[in-house]
């Protein structure tokens, strides 16, 4: 019997590519997104069912989880919806702070909680959250993004103890820079004049043709998500791509202090 994956933020990027990847492998896919009416291409796929979900809307979440479970057993829940903020903290508003925490962090926890009774009843199920290399190391001007992704890492690691006792699993996937709408329409870029000089230096590197041209293809992430869902391993983390693997290795080898000092030199030395 085919398995079923429930995906958040499946309208573009990693979520959409992963919906198509799992559907091509014969899985049933429940692809959720804020505007399912705009996903005609996914709707054409007979293995994909579209449902509405804004992960910051708890009432809609309850309804959508109920509808999804009425369709049959869910085997994997992929918490993918998320976005980045890059810029100085002083340029961000409280509304922006709440929005990124609710999307990248609170929404993940609420969705996990909403699916737990279903998983317990089925005596099986796996949660996978798309974290980021930014959940394991810290770069300049990504403070709010790191706050949410580092939180996901700690939360997941602790959750694994209680879920594994019930025969359930929870994992995170850490992509490096990947070609999606992340650095385009989804990115929030706050500005503040006190930081213009350093932020401009940072942006020159972060948005350079070299960096943008080297973004990894989105399918590389879908492949690793598929591996995490099917490899039968009791493994917490799955890094994706050269940048993520190299940066994490450097952080472990050099230690947190030296890794940080090296980045400071790379971005801000005159
Ligand atoms: P995209 O911008 O292409 O996709 C982001 C998705 O999240 C969109 O479908 C967007 O929906 C959805 N989304 C945003 N807010 C909400 C919300 N409130 N409710 C439901 N869906 C929402 O970027 P990616 O595919 O790259 O991002 C997917 C995940 O991958 C994120 O968690 C991101 O942090 C992570 N990631 C990405 C990396 C990269 O370099 N691309 C690197 C590391 C991690 P809508 O179309 O409605 O805006």
Question: Rounded mean pLDDT of 61-76?
Answer: 98
Q: What are the residue numbers of the active site?
A: 131, 145, 149
Closest to 106 measured CA to CA, from 56, 60, 171, 33: 56
Residue 270 pLDDT greater than 70, yes or no: no
Dist. CA 257 → ligand 1 center (Å) = 30
pLDDT digit string, tens, across residues 126-169? 999 999 999 999 999 999 999 999 999 999 999 999 999 999 99
Q: How many domains does the chain have?
A: 1
Identify which has the larger pLDDT, 204 or 118: 118
CATH number (domain holding residue 166):
3.40.50.720
> What's the pTM value of the predicted model, to 2 decimals?
0.98
Phi (first) and psi of residue 245, to 5 degrees = -65, -45
Dist. CA 12 → ligand 1 center (Å) = 7
Dist. CA 262 → ligand 1 center (Å) = 29
User: Which residue range is the domain that position 202 belongs to?
Assistant: 4-268
Closest to 173 measured CA to CA, from 137, 226, 243, 242: 226
Ligand 1 atom at shortest distance from the alpha carbon of 84: 34
Nearest alpha carbon, ligand 1 atom 9: 9
pLDDT of residue 238: 98
Alpha-helical runs (H) found in the chain: 13-24, 40-43, 58-70, 94-101, 107-122, 143-165, 196-206, 209-213, 219-230, 241-254, 256-268
pLDDT digit string, tens, across residues 207-266? 899 888 889 999 999 999 999 999 999 999 999 999 999 999 999 999 999 999 999 998
């Amino acid at each position: 019997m085919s398995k079923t994956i429930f995906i958040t933020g499946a309208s573009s990027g990693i979520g959409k590519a992963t919906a198509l990847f799992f559907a091509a492998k014969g899985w049933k896919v429940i692809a959720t997104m804020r505007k399912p009416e705009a996903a005609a291409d996914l709707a054409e796929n007979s293995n994909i069912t579209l449902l509405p979900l804004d992960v910051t809307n708890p009432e809609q979440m309850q309804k959508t989880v109920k509808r999804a479970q009425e369709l049959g057993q869910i085997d994997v829940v992929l918490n993918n919806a998320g976005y980045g903020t890059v810029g100085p903290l002083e340029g961000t508003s409280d509304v922006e702070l709440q929005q990124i925490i609710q999307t990248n962090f609170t929404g993940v926890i609420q969705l996990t909680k909403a699916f737990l009774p279903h998983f317990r009843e089925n005596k099986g199920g796996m949660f996978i959250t798309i974290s980021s290399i930014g959940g394991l190391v810290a770069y300049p001007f990504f403070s709010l993004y790191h706050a949410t992704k580092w939180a996901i890492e700690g939360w997941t690691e602790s959750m694994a103890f209680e879920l594994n006792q019930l025969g359930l699993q929870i994992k995170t996937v850490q992509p490096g820079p990947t070609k999606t709408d992340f650095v385009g329409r989804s990115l929030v870029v706050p500005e503040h004049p006190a930081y213009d000089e350093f932020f401009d230096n940072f942006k020159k590197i972060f948005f350079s043709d070299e960096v943008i041209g080297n973004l990894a293809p989105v399918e590389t992430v879908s492949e690793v998500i598929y591996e995490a869902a099917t490899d039968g391993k009791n493994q917490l983390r799955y890094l994706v791509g050269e940048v993520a693997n190299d940066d994490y290795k450097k952080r472990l080898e050099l230690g947190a202090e030296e890794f940080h000092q090296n980045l400071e030199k790379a971005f801000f030395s005159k």
